[in-house]
């Protein structure tokens, strides 16, 4: 039988925070944890938007599952940029993202930030994800003992996140073989700031009920003071039941949900569209994402992202007329063939296949003459429409930009990275000094396949981020000042530095306004 995920989840605002900036989703094939940052505005929006955008991936049958998750996370990052442009008060918001997609017998992991993924398999317990923090970089470079990392005063300084701080964030991606019985735990750093990995391992090993594991870990965090939001998703790989292996029925969307698929240019999207989609399959949704769908305050305010979600849902929103139409009647099929082809099939019993039952030539019949005029006119009209559409489409492509490669270097192109037969739909705009060989492997592959940009300015921003990621300078040794409380439980600021940029001098007196949920 195919493999699926058994799942449980819980999220809590904690003892100190006033709102929950964490979001999580878990289903039969997908699990996501996102920990938002941005202070009193933005953190919950960033995490909820990311989780709700990824939730649609909870399905099977992807032609290339290895690219589905990272590509959709990059798209979620673009949506966060759109949100900031639509509402400047959200500037600086961001979110971590740790996601698992089960495809066949492989688990695909995509990760950015300091949320974590733990795995218990064949008796071995390990942390699979790597924190993208300033402190973890010091540990990786041998400049800080791992035992000191958890109590370091700047452990909340993030080096990589989704959000408007980076036009093209670098993800950690991996593919791992899945086996029935193995267990995973995804969590925000609100759990690991209070509960040790040893305790997490004990719960995963000895408790059979997944929901009990999630509840006990959150309760332990609350008992330990819970200075941050805490979110836990517990998973177990298992063989599917016959019902789970069956193709899910198409979602029957209500009139309200269908109306939400065509919103105004801007404004919040009705929660009915997402609620009815989510209700069509087993899942659990917690944190800011659950609150957004319950209240209808969906943090997706751009028309593009709404249309994308609507298109995904409407392709499976119920049978169309073509799905239920009866087979074409043979007589009607013959008439259709006559209209399209301009001739009637010959009567096999007739002496002259060119004559009708009355003996007159078919070509001399008035109806035949009308058809002989209609067909060339109709064909000419189709050719004209095709030419207009082709011309308009080509002109549209010349308003687009993307970042690609040219002779081993990063370059900006005007157009789209496709060809139409012998016609090239783009041309070189700017060749940069950034060498492809200097880029990380995954980033280089994405550049070679083409990174779409909204406009020339956005393309230049992407190039700048790529240039910064080439040779990052080692971060200076932090100079702690003051006497921050151990573990950052005083609500220390979480800041983010664009991927690959030189390590910043850590803040010596973090302000409390940017804590992550």
89 vs 84: CA distance, rounded Å: 7
* Spatial contact of 164 and 190, defined as CB atoms under 8 Å apart: no
Out of 173-177, 390-394, 471-475, least confident range: 471-475
Between 449 and 64, the higher pLDDT residue: 64
Question: In the predicted model, what is the mean pLDDT of residues 131-158?
Answer: 85
Report the pLDDT value the prediction gives residue 212, as an integer from 0 to 100: 97
Report the pLDDT value the prediction gives residue 287, as an integer from 0 to 100: 96
Query: What tens digit of pLDDT does each residue of 16-30 get?
Result: 999 999 999 999 999
Does 34 have pLDDT greater than 60?
yes
Give the start-end residues of each E strand in 67-182: 94-95, 97-103, 106-112, 116-121, 124-127, 162-163, 172-177
381 vs 25: CA distance, rounded Å: 51
pTM, full prediction: 0.61
Report the pLDDT value the prediction gives residue 317, as an integer from 0 to 100: 37
- Write down the H helix ranges in 15-151: 43-54, 65-86, 134-140, 146-149
Report the pLDDT value the prediction gives residue 268, as an integer from 0 to 100: 47
Report the pLDDT value the prediction gives residue 489, as an integer from 0 to 100: 40
Instruction: Please give the biggest Cα pair distance in the chain.
Output: 108
Out of 125-129, 167-171, 241-245, 493-497, least confident range: 493-497
Closest to 111 in 3D by CA, of 90, 91, 133:
133
Q: How many helices (H) and strands (E) does the chain have?
A: 17, 17
Query: What tens digit of pLDDT does each residue of 452-509 get?
Result: 888 888 889 888 888 887 755 555 555 554 444 444 444 444 656 554 444 445 544 4
Assign 148 a pLDDT band (cuts: 50, 70, 90): confident
Assign 239 a pLDDT band (cuts: 50, 70, 90): very high
Question: In the predicted model, what is the mean pLDDT of residues 253-280?
Answer: 59
Tell me the domains of the chain and their CATH numbers.
3-314 (3.60.40.10), 401-468 (no CATH)
Radius of gyration of the chain (CA): 28
Question: In the predicted model, what is the mean pLDDT of residues 106-114?
Answer: 97
Query: What tens digit of pLDDT does each residue of 278-322 get?
Result: 777 899 999 999 998 887 666 554 445 555 555 555 544 333 333
DSSP 364: G
Mean pLDDT, the chain, rounded, equals: 77
* Spatial contact of 69 and 173, defined as CB atoms under 8 Å apart: yes
Out of 202-206, 397-401, 488-492, least confident range: 488-492
Length of the chain: 517
């Amino acid at each position: 039988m195919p493999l699926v995920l058994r799942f449980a989840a819980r999220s809590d605002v904690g003892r100190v925070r006033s709102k929950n900036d964490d979001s999580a989703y878990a289903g039969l094939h997908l699990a996501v944890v996102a920990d938002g940052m941005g202070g009193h505005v933005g953190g919950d929006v960033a995490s909820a938007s990311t989780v709700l955008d990824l939730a649609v991936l909870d399905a099977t049958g992807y032609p290339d599952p290895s690219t589905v998750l990272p590509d959709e996370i990059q798209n979620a990052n673009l949506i966060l940029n759109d949100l900031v442009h639509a509402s400047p008060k959200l500037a600086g918001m961001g979110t971590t993202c740790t996601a698992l997609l089960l495809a066949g017998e492989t688990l695909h992991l995509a990760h950015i930030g300091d949320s974590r993924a733990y795995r218990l398999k064949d008796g071995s317990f390990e942390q699979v994800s790597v924190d993208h923090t300033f402190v973890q970089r010091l540990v990786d470079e041998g400049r800080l003992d791992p035992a000191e990392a958890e109590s370091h005063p700047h452990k909340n300084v993030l080096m990589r996140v989704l959000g408007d701080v980076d036009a093209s964030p670098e993800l950690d991606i991996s593919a791992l073989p899945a086996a029935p019985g193995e267990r995973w735990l995804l969590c925000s750093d609100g759990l690991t700031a209070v509960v040790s990995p040893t305790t997490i391992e004990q719960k995963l090993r000895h408790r059979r009920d997944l929901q009990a594991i999630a509840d006990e870990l959150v309760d332990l965090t609350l008992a330990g003071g819970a200075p941050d939001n805490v979110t836990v998703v517990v998973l177990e790989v298992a063989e599917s039941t016959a019902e789970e292996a069956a193709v899910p029925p198409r979602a029957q969307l209500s009139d309200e949900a269908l109306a939400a698929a065509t919103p105004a240019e801007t404004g919040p999207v009705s929660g009915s569209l997402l609620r009815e989609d989510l209700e069509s399959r087993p899942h659990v949704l917690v944190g800011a994402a659950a609150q957004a769908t319950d209240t209808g305050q969906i943090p997706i305010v751009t028309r593009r992202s709404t249309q994308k979600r609507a298109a995904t849902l409407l392709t499976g929103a119920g049978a169309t007329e073509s799905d239920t139409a009866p087979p074409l009647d043979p007589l009607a099929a013959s008439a259709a063939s006559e209209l399209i082809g301009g001739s009637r099939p010959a009567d096999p019993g007739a002496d002259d296949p060119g004559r009708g039952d009355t003996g007159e030539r078919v070509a001399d019949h008035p109806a035949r003459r009308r058809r002989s005029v209609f067909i060339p006119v109709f064909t000419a009209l189709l050719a004209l429409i095709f030419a207009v559409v082709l011309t308009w489409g080509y002109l549209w492509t010349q308003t687009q930009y993307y970042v690609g490669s040219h002779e081993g270097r990063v370059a900006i192109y005007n157009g789209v990275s496709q060809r139409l037969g012998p016609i090239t739909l783009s041309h070189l705009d700017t060749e940069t000094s950034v060498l492809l060989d200097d880029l990380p492997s995954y980033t280089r592959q994405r550049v070679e396949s083409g990174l779409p940009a909204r406009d020339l300015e956005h393309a230049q921003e992407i190039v700048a981020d790529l240039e910064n990621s080439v040779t990052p300078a080692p971060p200076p040794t932090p100079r702690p000042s003051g006497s921050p409380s151990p573990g950052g439980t005083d609500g220390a600021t979480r800041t983010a530095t664009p991927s690959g940029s030189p390590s910043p001098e850590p803040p010596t007196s973090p302000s409390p306004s940017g804590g992550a949920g």
